[in-house]
Amino acid sequence: DMAGIVHFSNFARFMERAEHAFFREVGLSIWEDPAQIPTEDRVAWPRVHFACDFHAPLFFQEEFEVELLVEEIRSKAIRYLFRCWKNGGVLAAEGRMAAACVRKDPATGRMQAVPIPDRIRACFAPATEAQLKRPQVRSPRDGAD
């Protein structure tokens, strides 16, 4: 913003990028390729909750790290805890996000929450808290201002 502080709305993008990195880390993609997964088996992950508390400002071009922890895996949803750390270990922000596992009905186009498929749950299963911690260095100069 005009004060040189990273705008609050960017934190949702930072958290989403960390979530995408987590999916890649466990061998998945947040988007399932129709050429690889039949329509009736494809799922999507719309966000159903987002909240963020700010503890210290991040300034333009200041580097920081985003930490992701999986707080809970439910039958039809996953809930994350995120922490944005400034250099020197200062907590800048802490947030939570939840994503529902949904399938689109090809006939109606409506999304319906469905149980997380076993093929996806199996990718999450071996992860421990340490494995689920996904730091991502992110700098506002990389496109977010």
- pLDDT tens across 35-93, in order? 888 777 889 999 999 999 999 999 999 999 999 888 888 999 999 999 999 998 999 99
pTM (predicted TM-score): 0.80
Tally of CB atoms within 10 A around 103:
18
Q: What architecture (CATH level 2) is domain 10-142?
A: Roll (3.10)
Average pLDDT, the chain: 85
For residues 78 and 70, the answer to whether their CB atoms sit within 8 Å is: yes
Report CA dihedral (117, 123, 125, 130) to the nearest 10 degrees.
-140
